[in-house]
Amino acid sequence: MTGSPHTAQISGAGRLWRGIWLMLGALLLAGVGIAAGLVMGRKIAQEEWAILVTATGLATYIAVAVTDVRHALLFWVATAPFARFTYLNIELGRGIPNLTLNRIMTGVLLVLVLAQAAIGRRRLVRFTGLDALLLAFLAAAALSVPSAIVGLKSAVQSFLDLLIIPVAIYFLARNLITDLRALRGVMVMLTIVGLYFALLATREQLTGDVWFYPEDRSVTYTASIRRVVGLLGNPAYIAVTISMTWPWAWYWLYRGRRFRLGKALLLAVMAAGVFFCMNRSGWGGLVLALVVMAIFIPRFRRTFFILLILAVIVGSIYGAVILSSATVRERLKAQGPIEYRRETWDIARRMIRDHPIFGLGYENFPYYYRRYGHWDIYLRAQPTPHNTYLWVLLMGGIIAFIPFMAFLLYLAWTSLKLYRSSRSAESFLDPDLVGVFLASMAAIFAPAFVMDVLTGYYNTMIMFMIMGAFWGAVAGERQRAERARLAQMAARPLRG
């Protein structure tokens, strides 16, 4: 049966209107393109290219976010250290908070995720005890901000960059990385991050030429050892960032059997980057990560023992030469950092005794230090506790320390429990993946005893990204496995 002439007439009119709208859209797009070209050309001619780069760069990030929120999260976190060096941060002048890439992308992604949840395009993950403890720590730490000696405005901005944004990344990753396929994308991102940090650190140590130099940072440890500062300004932050990414790079690279020599070379480059940071806490973090992998990942043990045998052979043959090297000798035997920590921890103990409940206040340790001990005012650096756990206790007192330690202990307990359950034949999860997660966490929380992890914005972002992505993928896969099990049970009576 054919349509009536009236129907054909309506159909023809519809095609005509669609053609008109397409033509108008094309003209509008052409007009926008011409206008944008004229503006860009005028800005370049007036040597205002920096503003153009900023606007274009931020527009690119936002366009990626609107297209795919998960890819935007990975893209942002992978490139965040370069923002200040590539005109992606907008400085608004004295007294006005800057619009940094991290602040803009945090707001954009949170709004998009919540909007998608509101219209039913996305389901937010179930709130867990781990999430509650993390938010409890953040709320307790926030109580220390109003008493900051540096002023409320400066303290709020610092608290936002160092703690709120990383915690926001944790919740974004929890809701966006909800299966193992998405988690593999995170592994690729972490491998890229670890590799470029390693290459920059190695190049800087060997040549002395600093790329992406943060202002007012010392570039020497001793006469023979350079202090790697490119991008993050502190070799400890660089080293622990590489160490956290190394286990994930190994897991992603060694799932296939092809190009094993090239993959081993990439992992060796990342390990070399940690070494050339010349930071003992970073060295210890990577070694501990390898040990944890050997304990929890059976297929890594062969690699670990080969590395151990090679280390023994090289040490027995070239040990005297290595230890006689000025570079290694000066770094291993440096007593200044050890003596400073011993004195600082004694002073911190007295501070905690005097301010046990609410602590000293946010970023107040350097100012209180001068009341309890001596500090040379001409030194470039400010005194710090050099211990993350002390840093939390000094900042927010017991009310911040208890939820922080409860969060870490609960994280460790649930991870070990997950590892045990993943070894069963019915498990939906590869136990090696849990071992990799434990190794990456060991690489950051063990060095945290001798460094202030939470004062490094980027290593904290990576740390919470790993936590959120891993537990988001675990929760998503667990729900899918449970639905499949229930569907299978429901289908059994029908077969009977």
Tell me if 458 sits within 8 A of 77, measured CB to CB: no
| Count of structural domains within the chain | 2
DSSP category for residue 455: G
Residues 337, 459 within the same domain: yes
Within a 10 A sphere around the Cβ of 200, how many other Cβ atoms?
21
Residue in this structure with the two tokens 């033509």, named with its chain if needed: 23
DSSP category for residue 210: P
Q: What pLDDT sits at residue 10?
A: 45
Residues 110, 150 within the same domain: no
* DSSP-derived secondary structure for 386-445: S-HHHHHHHHH-HHHHHHHHHHHHHHHHHHHHHHHHHTSTT-SS-HHHHHHHHHHHHHHH
Does some domain include residue 175? yes
Does some domain include residue 15? no
- Rounded Cα distance between 94 and 98, Å, is 9
CA distances from 247 to 217, 391, 437 (A): 30, 27, 8
Residues 314, 339 within the same domain: yes
Does some domain include residue 7? no
Q: Which long-range contacts (CB under 8 A, 24 or more apart) does 13-16 make?
A: none
Residues 6+ apart with CB under 8 A from 91: 98
Residues 106, 242 within the same domain: no
Residue type, 240: V
Per-residue pLDDT of the chain (496 residues; tens, 9 = 90+): 445 554 445 455 566 666 676 677 667 666 655 655 555 555 555 555 567 778 788 888 999 999 999 999 999 999 999 998 888 887 776 667 778 899 999 999 999 999 999 998 888 988 999 999 999 999 999 999 999 998 898 899 999 999 999 999 999 999 999 999 999 999 999 999 999 999 999 999 888 888 988 877 777 776 677 888 889 989 999 999 999 999 999 998 887 667 678 888 999 999 999 999 988 888 999 999 999 999 999 989 888 888 888 777 766 665 555 555 656 655 555 556 677 778 888 888 999 999 999 989 998 988 888 888 776 655 566 788 889 999 999 999 999 999 999 999 999 999 999 999 888 877 788 899 999 999 999 999 999 998 999 999 999 999 999 999 999 999 888 888 777 777 777 776 555 4
Q: What pLDDT sits at residue 319?
A: 54
Residues 483, 454 within the same domain: yes
- Among 90, 124, 158, identify where a domain stops: 124
Residues 297, 445 within the same domain: yes
Residues 295, 378 within the same domain: yes
- Rounded Cα distance between 202 and 1, Å, is 76
Within a 10 A sphere around the Cβ of 214, how many other Cβ atoms?
15
Residues 221, 95 within the same domain: no
Tell me if 239 sits within 8 A of 453, measured CB to CB: no
* DSSP-derived secondary structure for 374-396: ---TT-SSPP--S-HHHHHHHHH
Residue type, 443: A
Q: What is the pTM of this model?
A: 0.85
Residues 203, 96 within the same domain: no
Is the Cα torsion angle 262, 81, 291, 227 positive or negative in sign?
positive
Residues 6+ apart with CB under 8 A from 243: 274, 282, 285, 286, 289, 440, 443, 444, 447
Does some domain include residue 190? yes
Q: How far separated are the first and last CA of the chain, in Å rounded?
A: 46
- Among 95, 124, 153, identify where a domain stops: 124
Does some domain include residue 21? no
- Among 105, 124, 143, identify where a domain stops: 124
Burial of 440 (0-12, 13-18, 19+ CB in 10 A): buried
Q: What pLDDT sits at residue 376?
A: 61
Residues 81, 138 within the same domain: no
Does some domain include residue 12? no
- Rounded Cα distance between 430 and 439, Å, is 15
Tell me if 328 sits within 8 A of 222, measured CB to CB: no
Alpha carbon 479 to its chain's center:
26
User: Which domain, by its residues, includes 115?
Assistant: 30-124
Q: What pLDDT sits at residue 312?
A: 77
CA distances from 465 to 78, 277, 351, 375 (A): 11, 23, 33, 36
For the chain, the C-alpha Rg in angstroms (whole number) is 27
Does some domain include residue 77? yes
Q: Which of 334, 348, 354 is nearest to 383 (CA)?
A: 348
Does some domain include residue 402? yes
Helix, strand, coil percentages (3-state) for the chain, rounded to 5, are: 75, 0, 25
Residues 248, 139 within the same domain: yes
Within a 10 A sphere around the Cβ of 312, how many other Cβ atoms?
11
Residues 69, 146 within the same domain: no
Tell me if 217 sits within 8 A of 229, measured CB to CB: yes
Q: What pLDDT sits at residue 91?
A: 75
